[in-house]
């Protein structure tokens, strides 16, 4: 991206020359960068496709599936159920899609003993009590949590209201994250996969650390410059071959000691392969817009 580290000013020369020229010409720049690495069908998936990886998953999961809702579980005397549940629904609980007032109840028996000086709604203080209760479950959007809990406390008959809040992190979408790790559809050596990779990327040379005649069962990929950052994950998840854009000298030695063969394509070579795929996807989604790839874009390094 043209803005990678923080900048304080934009000038017509130096590191911000490109930004200045884009502003002057009225050109907007959108740089997905790591978002495209993480995205389904993005940079790392295209790199994984180059070696026919199957049964793939992220090498490192991201936290984008964080909770947007909580499940509220509470316990209500049957004679107060309608009042309490209606109050919760009216303050934002219980909506699933186009449906509201969604909840689930199951009967049971609750027990409690109040300290001396308490005023229990049922029974007497300092005595073990057993009462019929309904366990009530419903979902609450995070933005409504505070007022739903306030409504629960105001409308529930008990002096102390028992409830649980459970974050809902399940998602109908597959997990997202950086890198990919998976299997191969058949037997292949590291050398065979390296040749497949070079053909797919359109380069003649790659950097290799470790044996190339080994049989590979599991492959990990990480496009760009974070190869060393994810190397530990590739080792822990028992990859035989690790493909990345860049990796440092000492990380390559670490990989060899762990029995892992590493392939480095140079930074942008591991990412550029994605551009044509991205252009085609955008063109299909927006047929009235013309998408072009830069003719001069290439890795600044060559192997002499």
Distance CA 86, CA 256 (A): 63
Predicted TM-score (pTM) above 0.95:
no
**β partners of residue 263:** 208, 243
Kindly report, residue by residue over 130-148, the tens digit of the pLDDT: 999 999 999 999 999 999 9
Kindly report, residue by residue over 214-231, the tens digit of the pLDDT: 999 999 999 999 888 999
Distance (Å) of CA 108 to CA 67, 75, 100, 134: 29, 9, 25, 6
Distance CA 111, CA 135 (A): 13
Query: Closest by alpha carbon to 262, among 281, 283, 240?
Result: 240
pLDDT score for 170: 60
Kindly report, residue by residue over 252-297, the tens digit of the pLDDT: 999 999 999 999 999 999 999 999 999 999 999 999 999 999 999 9
Distance CA 279, CA 185 (A): 28
Distance CA 269, CA 272 (A): 5
Average pLDDT, integer, range 149-172: 88
Is 58 in contact with 175 (CB distance < 8 Å)?
Answer: yes
3-state secondary structure of 132: strand
In what helix (H) or strand (E) does residue 84 lie, and over which residues does it extend?
helix 81-90
Is 103 in contact with 119 (CB distance < 8 Å)?
Answer: no
């Amino acid at each position: 991206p043209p803005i990678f580290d923080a900048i304080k000013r934009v000038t017509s020369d130096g590191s911000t020359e490109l930004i200045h020229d884009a502003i002057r010409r009225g050109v907007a720049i959108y740089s997905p960068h790591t978002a495209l690495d993480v995205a389904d069908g993005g940079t790392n998936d295209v790199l994984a496709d180059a070696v026919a990886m199957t049964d793939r998953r992220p090498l490192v999961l991201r936290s984008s599936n964080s909770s947007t809702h909580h499940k509220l579980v509470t316990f209500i005397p049957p004679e107060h159920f309608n009042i309490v549940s209606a109050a919760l629904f009216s303050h934002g609980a219980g909506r699933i899609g186009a449906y509201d007032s969604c909840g689930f109840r199951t009967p049971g028996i609750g027990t409690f003993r109040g300290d001396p000086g308490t005023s229990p709604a049922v029974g007497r203080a300092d005595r073990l009590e057993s009462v019929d209760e309904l366990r009530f479950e419903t979902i609450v959007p995070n933005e409504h949590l505070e007022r739903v809990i306030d409504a629960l406390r105001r409308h529930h008959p008990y002096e102390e209201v028992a409830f649980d809040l459970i974050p809902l992190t399940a998602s109908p979408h597959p997990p997202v994250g950086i890198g990919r790790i998976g299997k191969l559809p058949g037997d292949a050596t590291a050398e065979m996969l390296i040749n497949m990779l070079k053909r797919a990327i359109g380069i003649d040379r790659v950097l290799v650390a470790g044996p190339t005649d080994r049989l590979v069962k599991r492959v990990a990929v990480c496009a760009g410059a974070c190869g060393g950052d994810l190397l530990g994950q590739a080792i822990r998840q028992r990859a035989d071959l690790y493909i990345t854009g860049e990796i440092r000298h000492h990380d390559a030695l670490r990989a060899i000691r762990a029995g892992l063969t590493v392939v480095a394509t140079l930074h942008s070579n591991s990412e550029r392969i994605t551009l044509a795929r991205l252009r085609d996807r955008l063109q299909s989604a927006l047929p009235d817009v013309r998408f072009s790839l830069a003719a001069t874009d290439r890795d600044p390094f060559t192997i002499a």
